[in-house]
Structure 1
Amino acid sequence: MTSLFTPYTLKDVTLRNRIVASPMCQYQARDGLLNEWHQTHYETLAKGGVGLVMVEATAVSPRGRITLGDAGLWSDSQISGFASVAHSIKAAGAVAGIQLGHAGRKAGCIAPWQGGAPLPESDPHAWQPIAPSALPFIPGTPHIPGEMTRQDIQRTQHDFARAAVRALEAGFEWLELHFAHGFLGQSFLSRRANFRTDRYGGDLENRARFLIETVGAVKRVWPAHLPLAVRLGVVEFGQEAEQSLSESIQVLDWLKGAGVDFVDVSLALSTAGEPVPWAPNFMVPYAEKVRAETGLPVGTGWMITDARRADDFVRNGQLDLVCFARSLLANPHWPFQAARALNIQNPSAVLPTPYAYWLQNWAS
């Protein structure tokens, strides 16, 4: 029976287990360049025994950064740092994945531990973000994005495709496009953020057009034998929750036709103050519904912390992969401890050989 520690194959890529280290922004880059912090961070996650390490949201253009500390792949000069990280992840036995994104109207802010507010206009590094419509993420704030022109849209889609080429050159084998969390892709899809009257706004087909075209642009440059995934915010919590979920399932059917292989099921967070019903495992039923109605394999995270529950989600066919974030920051060797909790016959098999050797007698 398939379990949390059963290998998983998608296209020509095989993960040693179903545990994913979710992309977690570190905000430690400079001019998009990765550094020693990123190297150590991702090596540690990979050595801990996960099957897939997803490198943090990586901006496809300078204007698409959430903060000045975002990782970026808008220049060939940034490839080498990512190549080093990808090599280290693979050397530890995990698959190297990367998430490409554009922050849209949530761009141009200070780091979240400094408050996350928009950079002040007096800051020489500040810039005006772009979005489907000229609506700030937080109503009443002066951080108003510029409404994207057709040229802006085409340029951004080209930026996604070029970043995908650089990710491939760097050695990544799993690519995810970030269309969630109120960033650019999610903003195009959301009725709450998109008030356009052209072919990129209005009905669902128009609001989904940016996402579908962007997937198409990336698909043309990304190898057919490697997985292409999206992270989509499938539900906008509030009065329209059921409608947004139904629309997201339709959009995922379209994205599947455009070449998407996998869905990282997540939150919309299209507007500030969205009434999210935070609770352990709360996104699993949404992921299960997406899987059942689209036929796409799925993963999700969000407050999944218990090994037995995670294993049940895989065994019951609710999830194909289980994503972890904070649990792995607190304990990068969580997979080993999960294997012990699940009575896996050889729990040291999830670790690199040197670690496994010293942990063979793991009862001591």
Structure 2
Amino acid sequence: MSATELFSPLALRGIVLKNRIMLSPMAQYAALDGSVTDWHFAHFAKFAAGGVGLIFTEATKVERRGLGTVGDMGLWKDEQMAPLSRIVDFIHAQGAAAGIQLNHAGRKAGTLRPWEGYGTLDRSVPIEGQQHWEVIGPSPIAYMEGWPTPREMSESDIETVIDAFAQAARRADSIGFDVLELHGAHGYLIHQFLSEACNRRSDRWGGSLENRMRFALEIAAAVRRAWPEGKPLFFRISAVDEGGWTLSDSARLCAELKKRGVDVIDCSSGGIGTRSPTAAAIKRPMGFQVSYARQIRKSVDIATAAVGLIIEPSHANAIIERGDADLVAIGRELLFNPFWAHHAAAQLAEDPDFEMMPPQYQWWLQRRSKAGYGPAA
């Protein structure tokens, strides 16, 4: 029996998470032609050993045209599956659940890594020995000044991308992932269709809110058919954005997603015309997006994940305790401290004797504590 809500288990369909701590997807830009490398194994293994209950890999592209940045992960071909299996097996061996987020960059495709300038790639030279990928979107409207103008997607393009999401979901299931999330936020392709700022279509995929939601809902339905009934499906939203999308719009979208078998809404914000809040280097209040998770949870009656500067264990526990969200998604703080979950367990008196840690660490730290150092001293 858990002493704190943060460390209580969470049942979602046929999956039981050991705690409410979720690693938020964070791009590493270290893949080669979409395939993960040793960097990814080392990266995700830390969080599995560190006590996180649900470990999401980074945004994983469903087709090559969906690559946002050099080094993005992909799952558009079978050859990309085997290296991911090794990561998933290790996550499972630590008692954690493995999640994968599926994504398509749309008009944000073809950018430099952020530490290389966060601009568009030089399209006159090959990248990783391959030609550049085409930039597509709901309408021919560039993301920012100086970025390429996307080609407006045809009905055939839309059908191809919807199927690509479903095929990637099937691969993810075969690999052994437990949870799948659709990235419908931060100005990527699904969000582009939702937004009036970049969707100016006059067909059934644009115009009214109902039509602008169609792409997201068709993808969710196709993925739910491809994804096993016993495995949960998440959807990340920008609850509000700079282009006029409102919390009321999000509530309508989430109600329809729930009808199509989505189990959890991961609540972020922004990114349709600027960088997402999670990537912005500006000071914000702690938990600045938690209210979105609380309001969607209440108005739609659906489980939510809260994200956005959740740093202190007491704050994370209070979010779950108050019913603001069902999960806390932590990103940069886990990069800074991969053992945040174990430190939180000690700080909240959930596990002062390190019994939740892997035995390879537990044995040493218990002796350190008995010698007069550490939280159990």
Q: Which category describes the TM-score, using the shorter chain as reference length? A: over 0.9
**Counterparts of residues 86-125 of structure 1 (less than 5 Å):** 86-125=88-127
Preserved CA contact (<8 Å) 1:54 1:98: yes
**Normalised TM-score (structure 1):** 0.95
Residue 4 of structure 1 aligns with which residue?
A: 6
Deviations 1:114-156 (A, max 9, x none): 0111111212233331111111110x32511111111000000
1:157 alignment partner, one of 154, 162, 167: 162
Q: 1:236 to 1:6 in 2, by over 3 A?
A: same
Unaligned runs of 5+ in 2: none
CA–CA separation in structure 1 for the residues paired with 2:351 and 2:59: 36
Contact preservation (8 Å) 1:237, 1:274: no
Give yes or no for the alignment of 1:328 onto 2:334: yes
The CA distance in 2 between the partners of 1:355 and 1:336, in whole Å, is 11
CA contact 1:186–1:268 (8 Å) conserved in 2: no
Quote the Cα distance in structure 2 between the aligned partners of 1:207 and 1:149. Answer: 15
Query: Aligned to 1:255, what secondary structure does the other structure show?
Result: helix
Q: What residue number does 1:288 align with?
A: 294
Give distance in 1, aligned partners of 2:219 and 2:108. Answer: 19
In structure 2, the residue matched to 1:180 is: 185
Letter in 2 for 1:34: V
- Report % sequence identity: 42
- Equivalent of 1:352, from 353, 358, 369? 358
Instruction: Kindly provide the CA deviation profile for residues 243-283 of structure 1, in whole angstroms up to 9, marking residues without a partner as x.
Output: 61101100110010011011111113111278999321110
Instruction: Determine if contact 2:41/2:87 at 8 Å carries over to the other structure.
Output: yes
User: How big is the shift at 1:337?
Assistant: 1.2
Residue 353 (structure 1) shift: 2.6
Q: CA separation in 2, counterparts of 1:194 and 1:29?
A: 30
Cα distance change of structure 1 residues 347 and 202 upon mapping to structure 2, 3 Å threshold: farther
Q: Which of 156, 171, 175 is equivalent to 1:170?
A: 175
**SS of equivalent residue, structure 1 residue 359:** helix
8 Å contact kept, 2:186–2:275: no
CA–CA distance in structure 1, aligned partners of residues 353 and 341 of structure 2: 9
Partner Cα separation in structure 2 for residue 221 and residue 189 of structure 1: 23
**Quick one: distance in 2 between partners of 1:16 and 1:183?**
31
Residue 357 (structure 1) shift: 2.7
Classify 1:274/1:57 alpha carbon distance in 2 versus 1 (closer, same or farther; 3 Å).
Answer: closer
Normalising by structure 2, we get a TM-score of 0.92
Letter matched to residue 19 of structure 1: I
Q: Deviations over 1:47-90 (max 9, x none)?
A: 00010000100000011011120110000011101111111111
Q: Which residue of structure 1 aligns with residue 232 of structure 2?
A: 227
Check whether the contact 2:4–2:348 (CA below 8 A) recurs between aligned residues: no
Q: 2:34 and 2:224 mapped to 1: Cα distance?
A: 24
Return the alpha-carbon distance in structure 2 between the equivalents of residues 343 and 57 of structure 1.
34
CA separation of 1:142/1:285 partners in 2, compared to 1, >3 Å: closer, same or farther?
A: closer
Q: Report the residue type matching 1:85 in the other structure.
A: I
Cα distance change on mapping 1:165 and 1:347 into 2, 3 Å = farther
Instruction: Find the aligned partners of 2:161 and 2:133 in 1 and give their Cα distance.
Output: 16
Q: Which amino acid aligns with 1:224?
A: E
Aligned residues: 360
Q: Does 1:82 align with 2:84?
A: yes
Does the 8 Å CA contact 1:188/1:200 hold for their aligned counterparts?
A: yes
Report if aligned partners of 2:242, 2:273 keep a CA contact under 8 Å in 1.
no
How far, CA to CA, are the matches of 1:71 and 1:298 in structure 2? 25
2:186·2:276 contact (CA, 8 Å) conserved in 1? no
Post-superposition shift, 1:344? 1.7
In the alignment, the residues of structure 2 paired with residue 273 and residue 159 of structure 1 have an alpha-carbon distance, to the nearest angstrom, of 26
In structure 2, C-alpha distance between the alignment counterparts of 1:252 and 1:160, rounded to whole Å? 19
Q: Tell me the residue number matched to 2:201.
A: 196
Measured in 1, the distance between the counterparts of 2:179 and 2:151 equals 32
Alignment of 1:120-131 (within 5 A): 120-125=122-127, 126-131=132-137
RMSD in angstroms over aligned alpha carbons?
1.7
CA contact (8 A) 1:299 1:323 kept: yes
Contact 2:120–2:147 (CA under 8 A) maintained in structure 1:
no
Task: Select the residue among 321, 324, 343 that pairs with 1:318.
Answer: 324
Aligned partner letter, 2:183:
H
Deviations 1:171-216 (A, max 9, x none): 1010001111000000100111111110000011000000000011
Partners of 1:183 and 1:350 in 2: how far apart?
A: 38
Aligned counterparts of 1:96 and 1:23: Cα–Cα separation in 2: 11
**Which runs of 5 or more residues in structure 1 are unaligned?**
none
Indicate the SS of the match to 2:56: strand
- Do the aligned partners of 2:269 and 2:276 also contact (CA within 8 Å) in 1? no
Equivalents in 1 of 2:109, 2:355: separation in Å? 42
Rounded Cα–Cα distance in structure 2 between residues aligned with 1:142 and 1:322 = 34
